[in-house]
Amino acid sequence: MAATSLSETFCSEGCSQGRRLLAPAFQATYESGSKAGLGLTERLKITKPDDWHLHLRDGAMLEAVLPHTAKHFARAIIMPNLVRPVVTATDAAAYRERIMAALPEGADFTPLMTLYLTESTQPDDIAAAFDDGVATAVKLYPAGATTNSASGVRDIAKVYAVLERMAEIGMPLCVHGEVTDSAVDIFDREAVFIERVLHPLRTRIPELRIVMEHVTTKDGIDYVRQSQKNLAATLTVHHLMINRNALFRGGIRPHYFCLPIAKREVHRLALREAAVSGDARFFLGTDSAPHPDHDKETACGCAGCFTAANALSCLAYVFEEEGALDRLEGFVSHFGPDWYGLPRNEEAITLVKRDKPVGYVPKIEAGGERVTVFDPEVPLCWEVV
């Protein structure tokens, strides 16, 4: 198998997009060639990735979705928006136990827990959970912004004391950045959140380290880029692949409904540019958010796309399309731990590009319910081996 330049290699079926040459600083191992019988054409070995924004749920759903993440990711930031939110250190420790118990035999996966910020959260409790290593971060949900956010924050002033304490101890705040004001157009809620909530908060407490979760707009990207310090953003798989048209193509498509809602193409392009830019403030948080199909395919469907099962295949597709496979490793494996001050993973994974699209199960089963896997509507040729 000979090393070769990426520009010379094309997938023979489906994935025919051309690519630019790899940058000289390419760290990951890349090989191309063919191996009789296996249909291998290209191979990419990278540090094992982490997922910096993940919903695992609980019970049967947890058992069904966790193996998909644990297969490809070493760690994940676990969102606390269970039906009964993960508010205290005791809640987080118990949830972590349930996650560990649901792991498939032999799996090597570390859940990094978050605490759900409420208006009655006490600074001392948060600090103790961080000190004890029970919680890695705190999650801010504006009340009513998204799934299970009813006990979130209505008035940011009520949590200033907690946020000030977090700034002192270096505990990060993960933010669902949308205003809930129904007078604000749903497509503008992220941009308005930056203006009304995030910027004033960062001005008031500049030492607070903040991750804007699942950024979906050019406004969000620009705001992170302009910041001097203490601000990063996660990007999801689906927001790099779809724009808002996907929601309405030929009829309403509930499996593309998530929050923040997918925006116009100009925004998707800005997200892609940030993802492949090598700017270490942008890293992967899949926001894989499973819901049973019957809760999505209904008159008032839940928000969330389940992407854990094909996230890396999708991302390899995106980065290849952008001529940036050399930047994939930074985005999925390096920048997240660097920002959180954690060591990078020592293990590696290998992605192989097949000469035919690889299949993935379109639906998984969870406690007798079906959950639809995100369909990127493009042929995926990369798979993790």
Q: Is 303 in the site for ligand NCD (CB under 6 A)?
A: yes
Residues 134-173 that bind Zn ion (CB under 5 A): 146
Q: Is 285 in the site for ligand NCD (CB under 6 A)?
A: no
Asked if 28 and 44 count as a contact pair (C-beta separation under 8 A), the reply is: yes
Residues 324-383 that bind ligand NCD (CB under 6 A): none
Residue 33 or residue 59: which is nearer to ligand NCD going by CB? Answer: 59
Residue 335 or residue 374: which is nearer to ligand NCD going by CB? Answer: 374
**The token pair that represents 334 in the structure block:** 């390096």
Answer yes or no: 222 catalytic: no
Q: State in angstroms the smallest separation of the CB of 84 from ligand NCD.
A: 14
Q: State in angstroms the smallest separation of the CB of 349 from ligand NCD.
A: 25
Q: Which residue has the tokens 């940058």?
A: 23
Q: Is 147 in the site for ligand NCD (CB under 6 A)?
A: yes
Site string for ligand NCD, 51-70 (x = CB under 6 A): ----x---------------
Q: Is 72 in the site for ligand NCD (CB under 6 A)?
A: no
| CB proximity list for 245: less than 8 A, separation 6 or greater | 265
Report which of 111, 117, 114 is spatially closest to residue 130, judged by C-alpha positions.
Answer: 114
Q: Is 57 in the site for Zn ion (CB under 5 A)?
A: no
Give the range of 25-33, 70-78, 183-191, 287-295 binding Zn ion by CB under 5 A: 287-295
> Site size for Zn ion, by CB under 5 A?
3
Q: Is 176 in the site for Zn ion (CB under 5 A)?
A: yes
Q: State in angstroms the smallest separation of the CB of 141 from ligand NCD.
A: 7
Radius of gyration (C-alpha) of the chain in whole angstroms: 20
Give the range of 39-47, 149-157, 231-239, 281-289 binding Zn ion by CB under 5 A: 281-289
* Contact pick of 51, 63, 287, 383 for Zn ion (by CB under 5 A): 287
Give the range of 127-135, 154-162, 175-183, 243-251 binding Zn ion by CB under 5 A: 175-183
Residue 47 or residue 147: which is nearer to ligand NCD going by CB? Answer: 147
From CA 296, how far away is CA 304, in angstroms rounded? 9
Beta strands 137-140 and 110-116: pairing type? parallel
Asked if 160 and 204 count as a contact pair (C-beta separation under 8 A), the reply is: yes
Point out the catalytic residue in the list 287, 293, 326, 355.
Answer: 287
Q: State in angstroms the smallest separation of the CB of 210 from ligand NCD.
A: 16
Q: Is 216 in the site for ligand NCD (CB under 6 A)?
A: no
Binding positions for ligand NCD, rule: CB under 6 A: 55, 81, 146-147, 176, 258-259, 287, 289, 303-304
Positions annotated as catalytic residues are 287
Residues in contact with Zn ion by CB under 5 A are 146, 176, 287
